[in-house]
Amino acid sequence: MKIIVTGGAGFIGSNFVFYERKKHPEDEILCVDSLTYAGNLSTLEPVMNDDKFKFFKIDIRDRDSVYRLFEDEKPDIVVNFAAESHVDRSIENPTIFLETNIIGTSVLMDACRKYGIKRYHQVSTDEVYGDLPLDRPDMFFHEDTPIHTSSPYSTSKASADLLVMAYHRTYGLPVTISRCSNNYGPYQFPEKLIPLMIANALADKPLPVYGEGKNVRDWLYVEDHCKAIDLIIRNAKDGETYNIGGHNEMKNIEIVKLICDYLDKPYSLIEHVEDRKGHDMRYAIDPTKIHNDLGWLPETAFADGIKKTIQWYLDNKPWWENIISGDYMNYYEKMYGNRKVLD
Ligand code: NAD
Ligand code: DAU
């Protein structure tokens, strides 16, 4: 099987590439990534020389390049991770979110229609459901919870989801969608809560908590997300949507304190700063459907996953220090000199 993984130089996409290479070594992985600020080719170094791995520097909005790739490679499955993914950046500049997350998705699906595909999978987010109140712990996001977005980011992702379902109904495109809660783990860009707090704490810099830090997120170890997507692309019926989450709700302030404790840093580093505009209060996923249909269950308990993650950032300082210094941007030039880069 040939699988196109878009956004494979980013956080979850790269973890998915590693998961697939290990779990299904017989499959060929074609990674498509335009290497925005969030894409880091050095992350993919461990698989770069594999026979069954190819990297293509392509923007998913670039119709000609995407069509050429499909024509040349004739993929069986597309898993679309490529996106602008950071809520705060979407508040600063929504346009690129609409272009990549909506238009890019439509270009990929047009290619799937034109050249034929067994499965197009859209990696979506629990943020499409909006937020839940803090005082109703009995409430969860179900697959039929109405879409009710808050930020330009979540709105762009919800728009893409609607488009995916429209291509399914109108053109019969064989699609699936997954909506996952907050991921954490290795290779997450240090603009997101957990890696940002680890990097700042290690440098004894202030830890900027938005507002009171009472907002709740439902954290899932990234490998558990990858495993769920793998099950969906191979076993789910066309047209299905699955929520993915591990029932692990935590307040932001609890996460930040836990990181301080682990790194032996004082809580005095914590600085409550101006809140995010339109800040969603609580996310909480009901993953019953994916458990019942596909047998998925999260395997990594948060207590273990967070320790592994903090230890990974301690053991891989050059990876995130290069990001903070901007050096990782030069890595692409270096890699393209003598590596298997095909477009
Ligand atoms: P990320 O920002 O770490 O990575 C995104 C990747 O997409 C980068 O490698 C970037 O270079 C690439 N990209 C961006 N625009 C592109 C374009 N126009 N063409 C080709 N490549 C492009 O994001 P992530 O956190 O790994 O998220 C991956 C996907 O999962 C996104 O679709 C996101 O909405 C979704 N998601 C993320 C989370 C989370 O907690 N991080 C949770 C649920 C869903
Ligand atoms: O729920 C899934 C979503 O999770 C994904 O769709 C997004 O791509 C991903 O970025 C993530 O969105 P969040 O906005 O929840 O993640 P972020 O790490 O940006 O923030 C997590 C929480 O921490 C949120 O309540 C805002 C808060 N926060 C974040 C940062 C960066 C802070 O308090 N301080 C910070 O500096």
| Check whether domain 2-187+220-247+279-300+328-342 has CATH 3.40.50.920, yes or no | no
pLDDT of 333 > 80? The answer is no
CB 157 near ligand 1, within 6 Å? yes
- pLDDT for 338 equals 52
Q: What is the mean pLDDT of the chain?
A: 95
Q: How confident is the model at residue 158 (pLDDT cuts 50, 70, 90)?
A: very high
CA of 101 to the centre of ligand 1 (A): 9
Strands (E), 22-144: 28-32, 53-56, 77-80, 119-125
- pLDDT for 330 equals 66
CA of 276 to the centre of ligand 2 (A): 10
CB 285 near ligand 2, within 6 Å? no
Instruction: Answer yes or no: are the C-beta atoms of 90 and 49 closer than 8 Å.
Output: no
pLDDT of 41 > 80? The answer is yes
Q: How confident is the model at residue 324 (pLDDT cuts 50, 70, 90)?
A: confident
CB 255 near ligand 2, within 6 Å? no
Q: How confident is the model at residue 77 (pLDDT cuts 50, 70, 90)?
A: very high
pLDDT of 340 > 70? The answer is no
Q: What percent of the chain has pLDDT over 70?
A: 95
Q: What percent of the chain has pLDDT over 90?
A: 94
- pLDDT for 326 equals 79
| Residues forming the active site | 126-127, 153
Q: Where are the domains of the chain?
A: 2-187+220-247+279-300+328-342
CB atoms < 10 A from the CB of 336, how many? 12
Lowest mean pLDDT among 271-285, 291-305, 306-320, 321-335: 321-335
The protein residue whose alpha carbon is closest to atom 4 in ligand 2 is 182
Nearest ligand to the CA of 131 is 2
Tokens of 55: 């990297």
Claim: this prediction has a pTM higher than 0.75 = yes
Atom of ligand 2 nearest to the CA of 209: 33
Nearest ligand to the CA of 216 is 2
Mean pLDDT across 70-81: 98
Atom of ligand 2 nearest to the CA of 193: 18
CA dihedral 316, 20, 153, 64 (to 10 degrees): 110
